[in-house]
Structure 1
Amino acid sequence: MEAASLRILVVEDNDSLLEILCEMLGSLGYQTVAATSGEEALEHLRSGSFSVLLADINLPGISGIDLATMAIEMNSAIRIIFSSGFGYLVSDRLDFDFVLLNKPYYIHELAHAVSNSVRQMSEQ
C-alpha cells in the first residue's frame, strides 16, 4: 500500500506533540487528520475512512484504549498504534492487535510502527 494512500488519524491531547506527530508522518508521505480528544476522534472516524489510528492511551474523556475498541467495531481493518509512556501496563490485557510506541520515540521508530501496521493490513 502506497504511503500517500494511507490516512492516519492521530489523537494526542498535547497540542505540540500532536503537531510534531502530524509533521513527522507528513514528511514520511502519509495523510494525517489530527484530534485532541477521543470524542473529536470519534467524529472523524464516523465521517471518514482511516487505515491507521495512532492514539495516546491516556486521553481526557474517552481513553485511547476505548477509542481503539470503538474504531475496530466501526472498521475491523483499521490498524492501531498506541503512543504512550505507560503502554506496558495494558499490552497483555487487550484482545486486538496493536503496535506500541513507547514515549519518547524517534521518527524512525514511528516509521517502523506504521510500516508494521501496513504490513499487517496486507497480510489479512
Structure 2
Amino acid sequence: MEATPLRILVVEDNDSLLEILCEMLASLGHQAVAAASGEEALVHLRKGRFNMLLADINLPGISGIDLATMAVEMASNIKIIFSSGFGYLVSDRLDFDFTLLNKPYYIHELAHAISSSARQISAQ
C-alpha cells in the first residue's frame, strides 16, 4: 500500500471489469473514480483533480490514447497507466510517459504500476 492514497480515474467500457478495478484500487488504499467511457472521463477530469488515469486503450468514442493526451494537456502532472489486451496499439511517439499493463493482469502487477508512477509523483 502507498504511503499516500492516490485519486485515480479508472476508464473501462466493460462494466464488470470497471467494478473489479475500482475494488482492487480500494483494497490497495486508493480512491477510484469510475468512468465507462472517454466522454464520461472527460467530465470527471474537468470537475476534479486526479493523480493518475488508468485507461483501457480500446474505448468506444474517445480512445484511451486520445483521452490520456487530453488529460495530460489539462493536468501535466497526471500519471498515465494504459490497460489493454492490445498493448501494441500504444504509440512510442506519445509526448508523455506512461505505463502499460497488458490484460489480463493481477493485483500485484497493478500495485507495481501504481507504485512506479507514484514514485514519479513524489519526485516532482
TM-score by length of 2: 0.95
Superposition deviation, residue 80 in structure 1: 0.2
| Counterparts of 1:3 and 1:105, CA distance in 2 | 23
| Counterparts of 1:15 and 1:118, CA distance in 2 | 26
* Percent of residue pairs identical: 81
Aligned to 1:18: 18
Aligned to 2:41: 41
| Counterparts of 1:3 and 1:27, CA distance in 2 | 14
| Counterparts of 2:4 and 2:56, CA distance in 1 | 22
Provide the secondary structure at the position in 1 that maps to 2:34.
Answer: strand
Q: For each residue in 1:5-62, what CA deviation from the matched residue of structure 2 results, as whole angstroms up to 9, or x when unmatched?
A: x100000000000000000000000001000000000000000000000000000100
| Count of paired positions | 123
**Structure 1 residue ranges, 4+ long, deviating more than 6 angstroms after superposition:** none
Tell me if 1:99 matches 2:99: yes
| Counterparts of 2:3 and 2:75, CA distance in 1 | 20
Provide the secondary structure at the position in 1 that maps to 2:25.
Answer: helix
Aligned to 2:66: 66
Structure 2 regions of 5+ residues with no counterpart?
none
8 Å contact from structure 1 (residues 56, 84) kept in 2: yes
Q: In structure 2, what residue type is equivalent to 1:114?
A: I
Q: For each residue in 1:85-122, what CA deviation from the matched residue of structure 2 results, as whole angstroms up to 9, or x when unmatched?
A: 11123242322100000000000000000001101112
Provide the secondary structure at the position in 2 that maps to 1:3.
Answer: coil
8 Å contact from structure 1 (residues 11, 56) kept in 2: yes
Aligned to 2:4: 3
Tell me if 1:57 matches 2:92: no
TM-score by length of 1: 0.95
CA change 1:109–1:91 in 2 (3 A) is farther
Q: In structure 2, what residue type is equivalent to 1:93?
A: R
Superposition deviation, residue 77 in structure 1: 0.5
